[in-house]
Each structure stands twice: as structure tokens, then as C-alpha cells.
Structure 1
Amino acid sequence: MSHQAIHTADYPNSYYLASRKADADYPMLQGDEQADVCIVGGGFTGLNTAIELAQRGLSVVLLEGRRIGWGASGRNGGQLIRGVGHDLDQFAGVLGEQGVRELKLMGIEAVQMVRQRIEQFGIDCDLTWGYCDLANKPRHLDDFRADREELLALGYGHELKIVEPDQMHSVVGSDRYVGGMIDMGSGHLHPLNLALGEAVAAQSLGVRLFERSMVTAIDYGPTITVHTEHGRVRAAQLMLGCNAYHSGIQPQLAGRVIAAGSYIIATEPLAPALAQQLIPQNMALCDQRVALDYYRLSADRRLLFGGACHYSGRDPADIAAYMRPKMLKVFPQLEHTRIDYQWGGMIGIGANRLPQIGRLPDQPNVFYAQAYSGHGLNATHLAARILGEAMTGQASRGFDLFSQVPHMTFPGGQRLRAPLLALGMLWQKLKE
């Protein structure tokens, strides 16, 4: 199928869409299907849970309301960074010191899961190693030193190097930062090509994938029936991987995750010398502010610059006009560079920033994973491994840990949730 044949209107018009390696085109669900497991959501969570379950011998039907990788999975910054959650020590009271240590180790292991998935199925997604945390203040550099000590104590097997203020131009061509920490065990990739490659992998294992098959209702019980406009799936187990795009089918889960807007611009391809000046070692980079900047070079030397976490529920009318000044603060040398693509999307964030992985308390055969809070690339793959174990009755240390942590339902219902969070965000920025 030619690239033009895909209904591009189904996806945001991003750089990723323009540079995809393959076209997914899976049928719409029509009529009845039966399976051991029905999965709702065709992003990284759903695709990888499908792969994990199929590898363990279960029959799987996956339903995606729009297109494979349509949500955050196919439009994020492409940064593959170690760790799950933020400030994991806050959970010591619930999980104990050993439990917290296990979570930290899983956050490291999660990146290896992505590496293995790409290698196992030969997925062409521009995987590139090298990442640098950027310090906006001297205090951040102190934090990096502490992070480095902790990671080394956990047995981290990749190079971790503190970048002193006078060495910053070795990683970024900007005068904005006062230090950094290089991590050669994190990196970047093309997320839509990863998702499309994982869909092909799932199908090769016998998973039945359906696109444009929005779920309209779910009948719970020992056998679950999932309804779409033109069909239904009967299954013994259900997994909900909708994250920021719940569309009301499971209010209990939707109330625990808030959708925050994040935005990306992609420049025209840069001259090799300019690309080399901006990011000399072709790393992914991210700063430490509340409304963080994150950026990297694409395989064809465009700068992909993202950030501006928005809780208002309203996207900027002109993303490029909104993001370009932020980019120029970091890289004034791009003043005359054209912006070729602009897009945004929703990331799912929970109140305590820890991914939510578990089963519904009143429905023991319904599992879920959501709220990756900006660490979705690796955390989704970890969640899928944990769900694959739990849903096939294997003892899962990860499932036991994650499902023990209580998660707050955001106050204010559907309409007030975002404005309340926007106020909290503003307060964090003022403190900063």
C-alpha cells in the first residue's frame, strides 16, 4: 500500500506520520468474535499486553477506537528514559524500603524490555542510545550527583557521567544550562514506527487487531461482552489500556487519570554542521522545569522540540507560534529555521505520578494500566509484562507491588478536574 493510501486524517499530521515506515490498516470489527482476552486500546499498553499474552498461548482480540498508535504512543517525544514514577521513596510507607527498591529496578529493566522487543521483532524505529538530563539551577546538578550514586548502588550497567558547567557545549549548543548528567542506558526512537512494528508483531503471533472500532458498552460478568458499533467480543478477561483517552467507558478508571496536553514542533532538516552544533552527540535532552522542554534530532536531522504541559484542556490555536519562542530561548541560532510540522496530544497523569496497574476491585477478570505521567515509552512495556504474568496466573512481584499503591480520584468530576489541576500547575511554576 502506498503512503498516500492511508487515511492520514485519522492521525495527527505529525513528522512521525510523514516518516512512518509502514502503513497499518486493520479491519473494523463487524460481527462477533470470541477470545481468551479482549484488549481495549491500540497504543503501547494494548499492543504489548497482546504480545505478552499471545506469547503465553492465549487468544487475543485488540480493539482500537481510532488507529494503531493514534494517541500518545504515536505522537510523543520519542524519549526512552529509565525510571517509572516520580519520587518513588514516597511509597515506602505502603511498599516498604525493599518494595521501593524493586520499583526502581523495574524502572531500569523497563528500558531493556523495549530494547528486547525491538531486537526480537526487527522493528525499524531509529533506536539511538544516549540521553542527557539538563540542570536549570545548581541545585539540579546536586540532584544528579545523588541520582548517579543511587543508580550505581542499584547496579546500573550503563555509563552515567556528570557534565560540569564548562563542558555543557559537548552535549548541547545552548547557554541555558548549568550542568547535566549523561545516561548511555537511555535514548530516543521513532514512536509511531515502534507502535506500527509492534502491531505487525502482535498479528504475527495470532492477535486479531481491529481499528476504528470504538467501544460503546461493556457487559461485565464471568464472560465479558465488549460492544462496538458494528460488533462484539466475548472474552474471559478484559484489559483496558485507554490511558488519557478513556471516553467514559470506565468512569472509575477515568477519574484517576487527568489528560495533560503536550506539544511538539519539528524543524526543516538541518545542515549537518548546525545539527552537530545543537546536539553534538545526538542525544535526547530534557530539562528540569515543571513545564519541561524536551528535544532531540530525528534520523533526518530535524530538531524535534517539545514541552509545555497544559492542563487547561484547550490546545493552543497555533502550536508552532506557541512552541517556537520556547525553542528559540534554548537555540537562538534557529531564528531563520522553518518549522515543518506541529502537533500535540494528551498524556495521562495520576495524582502521585506512579503508573496505575491493577484489576478492578469488583471485577476480578478486568485488568488495566494507565497514567504513565510522561514515562510512557518504557513504563507501558513494563506494565504489559506485569499484566501478561498476572492475567496468565503467574506470580507477579510487579503486579503485587503496583496494585498495592492507592490512587486518588481527581476531585471535580469531568468538567472541573482540568481547571483545578491547572491551578496546581500554576502554583508549582510560581514556586519555581
Structure 2
Amino acid sequence: MDLLFSNDRRGSYPDSWYAATSNPPAPRPPLRGTAKADICVVGGGYTGLSAALHLAEAGRSVVLLEAHRAGFGASGRNGGQLGSGQRQDQVTLEKRHGRETAQRLWALGQEAKALVADLVARHDIPCDLTHGLAWAGGSDASVRDLHAYAAHMAEHYDYPLEALDRDAFAALCPSPAYRGGLFDPGAGHLHPLQLALGLARAAEAAGAQLFEGSHVHHVRHGSKLVVQTDAGRVEADQLILACNGYLGGLDRQVAAKVMPINNFIVATQPLGAEAARVLTRDIAVSDDRFVVNYFRLSRDGRLLFGGGESYGYRFPSDIRAAVRKPMLRVFPHLADTPLDYAWGGTLAITRARMPYLARLAPNVLSASGYSGHGVGNAVQAGKLMAEALRGQSDGFDTFRALPAAPFPGGGALRTPLLVLAMSWFALRDRLGF
């Protein structure tokens, strides 16, 4: 079973609030026959689109192949949060890799935010990029940890995070579920599908060729690569795999270290005056649960709430019911509020919850496994791979040097083993540990 075709209509965006509020172009034609290029990019999400854009701007000939539509996958369905740093916090990164590497990773995270903002401005992408993101603590202990982290970031990184006690956090987010948190004025949120569509337009304008409905099912490696689809093939000198959770069987090395999981989002009906009982400012929020809840208000006053995960191939039969449970733990007053949209998507995680960037062969690069931090990471990874193929690999090599352990159990057992582990942590969330 292929995740590309397990849960969605072929060649169609999911029935999400994002798709309902975007204006995608007509489908691009699939690849037919033989195309030749300096570089072939497989995958039309943030990573592939960013790589194609930066390579085309550098004068390279680029063919990008997407099995569905540009922005079809996680890039067009995610929570839209543009976080600071990396998926792992700086204290964790210092313990794992030392202060020097952690500081380099922080700098790369800051560059990723700046890159997204620059691309949005330079290419006039109407994705409602807005600053402000809060981290919510559900216990006194987690709030103390968050406040200690703010002090650490001020002392060692000169980065301002505002520590919020219970009353200050409630002034931003009047939920009974939280006891305090942090506010990050340098992070933000945006309309993810509009960002993807804008990157696709920019890549084409720079000279990249984008083919949709072009499912890659085989790569023949060598000094001249052949990338095969159902109806055509690309002959290229270099290859970028930008598939994230939809890699399938294209590369075993990546598949051993990057695992797809599913996540789900709902959009309520417009809340009107009730929106102030959710958020009092136009910010995004993520909480401290192992299975993270994340939410924000849409521009038309809906609550966009993400929560719940699954680890098989299929989405739950009733996404609304699956997400309503965590949503009501955070906002019990919305029990009778209709959910106008509900959708799922496939992302990818690594054991370290850090991106996995790899040189699979002298002329083949891959980036994936953003672990829920992909808006900035994925756009940046595309640029870093474009630079690496042109001989400028410092940023790419920083991520490439990070240890990346395979999931235990191999392809056959990694999913059931992960389900057991995740179920344990989800139980801890429910019990309040």
C-alpha cells in the first residue's frame, strides 16, 4: 500500500479550510516521454519547491515531479506554525551535541524563519504571515521548565522569550487546560497551502519545469540518473529526493530512519464574538503534551485545531470525532460548535526529532523527517540542498553530521513498535504525567 494513494483522491487537494480559501492554478500536465535536466527533484512540497526555485535562480535546468499537485502533502495541510530554532529545544541539543553545534543549529533555525519571510516578500506570496507564537504548559512543573528555558535563551542566545504566569497566559488564551507558558514574538504562523502555491509559481517563473500527476516509481542510479514515472522519464545529472512522508520504497536508507505518521486538523464554523474565548490576539499556540495540540484562529474567525496522531496507513473513519476529543479538553465551551472542515495529512518523524539530510550517492541528496517543524526546516532544506549541489555545503553538512539512528524493527516491525511507544506516551498525557 502506498501512502500517496491511501487516503486522498488522486490529483486532488484534501477538503480542508486551506484548500477552500486558496485559488490553485489548473493542474499542470504530467510528464510524458523523456525530459533532460541538470537536476531532477522528486516531490512538490516545500522542500522540493524551494530546491527547484533556488536551483533555477542559479541558472540550473530543473525538472520537478509531483505525484499529485504542488503542495498536496504536508506542505499544504499543516498547522501553519513557523517556529524558532529546531524541533528539539536548545537545552536538549546542547546535551546531545555540545554548545557549539547547538548554537549553529539555532542560527540555522533563525535563518530558516528569515528565509520564509524573504521568499514571501520577494515573491509576493499572499499567505498571511503573522508574528507571534505561544508555548502552553499544562502543569506547574512544565511551566517552571518553560520559564527556566526562557532564562536560558536570554542568557546564552540573547533571544527574548516572554515568561507568562497563569493569569498572563489566560489573558492570551483563556483555556482552563493551561497554567502558564511562553510567548515567542519572533515565531509566527501562515497559510501553508498558499505558501506552497506561491513557491511553485516562483519556481516556474525562475525557469523550473513542474510536472504534476507524475508518480515516480523507480530510479536508476549512475553518473547519469534515470527517474521513471508511469508515462515518462527524466535523465539528469543530479537528483533530489524531497518526499518526506511519501517516500515509499524509493530509498531504503532514508526509509529506515524516517517514518511517516498521520496528524489531523479541524476547522470550526466562524466563532464570531466567541473567538475571544479561544485567543485574544492573532497568535498560534502549541502545548507541551507528547501528542501536541496546536491551534490558532483563521482570518475568518474559525478555530483551526490540530491534535491526535495515527501510525498506520489509513486515516480514522471519523476525523472530526478524533480531533474533537482533544479540542474539548482545551476548549470545553465549544462542545456544541459545528466543525465545518476536518482533514488529515502525512508527515515524517525521525527518532531524534531532527531533520534527516543525507547524501545517498555522490549525485543524490535527500531531506526529510522534519518531525512537525517543517514550515521553516523544509523550505530551508530545499535551499541547503540546492547550495550543496553547487559545492556550498556548510549548512547541509551541519544537519548531515547529526546522528540518525534507524527505527528498530526494520520495515516490518517499526510501525507496531512505534504504536506501542506512542500509545504509552499518549496515556501519560491523559493521566496528567
TM-score range, shorter chain: over 0.9
Q: Which moved more, 1:345-354 or 1:396-405?
A: 396-405
145, 152, 158: which one aligns with 2:147: 145
Percent identity, aligned pairs only, is: 43
Q: Deviations over 1:7-65 (max 9, x none)?
A: 99612111111111332521100111111110000000000011111122211110001
Which runs of no fewer than 5 residues in structure 2 stay unpaired?
Answer: 1-8
**Corresponding position of 1:77:** 79
**Corresponding position of 2:247:** 246
**Corresponding position of 2:194:** 193
**Corresponding position of 1:97:** 99
Runs of 4+ residues deviating >4 angstroms: 87-96, 154-157
Question: 1:63/1:154 Cα in 2 relative to 1: closer, same or farther (>3 Å)?
Answer: farther
CA contact (8 A) 1:24 1:68 kept: no
Q: What's the RMSD between the two structures over aligned residues?
A: 1.9
1:166 aligns with 2:167: yes
**Corresponding position of 2:407:** 410
28, 33, 43: which one aligns with 2:35: 33
Question: 1:288/1:91 Cα in 2 relative to 1: closer, same or farther (>3 Å)?
Answer: closer
Once residues 20 and 226 of structure 1 are traced to their aligned partners in structure 2, the CA distance between those partners, rounded to angstroms, is 31
**Corresponding position of 1:3:** none
How far did 1:83 drift? 2.0
Once residues 72 and 308 of structure 1 are traced to their aligned partners in structure 2, the CA distance between those partners, rounded to angstroms, is 15
**Corresponding position of 2:268:** 267
Secondary structure of the structure 2 residue equivalent to 1:185: strand
**Corresponding position of 1:4:** none
CA contact (8 A) 2:11 2:213 kept: no
Q: Deviations over 1:194-215 (max 9, x none)?
A: 1011100000000000001001
Once residues 16 and 42 of structure 1 are traced to their aligned partners in structure 2, the CA distance between those partners, rounded to angstroms, is 17
**Corresponding position of 2:356:** 356
How far did 1:371 drift? 0.2
How far did 1:237 drift? 0.5
TM-score for both structures, normalised by structure 2: 0.93
**Corresponding position of 1:216:** 217
Q: Deviations over 1:215-252 (max 9, x none)?
A: 12111111111111111111110000111101211122
1:225-374 to 2 correspondences below 5 Å: 225-271=226-272, 273-360=273-360, 363-374=361-372
Q: Deviations over 1:343-394 (max 9, x none)?
A: 111110011111011211xx21000000000000010122122112111012
CA contact (8 A) 2:50 2:380 kept: no
Once residues 215 and 329 of structure 1 are traced to their aligned partners in structure 2, the CA distance between those partners, rounded to angstroms, is 42
Once residues 166 and 407 of structure 1 are traced to their aligned partners in structure 2, the CA distance between those partners, rounded to angstroms, is 41
Once residues 301 and 316 of structure 2 are traced to their aligned partners in structure 1, the CA distance between those partners, rounded to angstroms, is 26
1:427 aligns with 2:424: yes
Once residues 312 and 8 of structure 1 are traced to their aligned partners in structure 2, the CA distance between those partners, rounded to angstroms, is 19
Specify the code of the residue in structure 2 equivalent to 1:377: V
Secondary structure of the structure 1 residue equivalent to 2:218: strand
Which runs of no fewer than 5 residues in structure 1 stay unpaired?
Answer: 1-6
CA contact (8 A) 1:38 1:61 kept: yes
Once residues 153 and 234 of structure 1 are traced to their aligned partners in structure 2, the CA distance between those partners, rounded to angstroms, is 52
1:390-401 to 2 correspondences below 5 Å: 390-394=388-392, 396-401=393-398
Once residues 9 and 385 of structure 1 are traced to their aligned partners in structure 2, the CA distance between those partners, rounded to angstroms, is 26
TM-score for both structures, normalised by structure 1: 0.93
Question: 1:47/1:9 Cα in 2 relative to 1: closer, same or farther (>3 Å)?
Answer: closer
How far did 1:92 drift? 5.8
CA contact (8 A) 2:307 2:327 kept: no
Question: 1:346/1:270 Cα in 2 relative to 1: closer, same or farther (>3 Å)?
Answer: same
**Corresponding position of 2:6:** none
Once residues 293 and 236 of structure 2 are traced to their aligned partners in structure 1, the CA distance between those partners, rounded to angstroms, is 43
Question: 1:301/1:422 Cα in 2 relative to 1: closer, same or farther (>3 Å)?
Answer: same
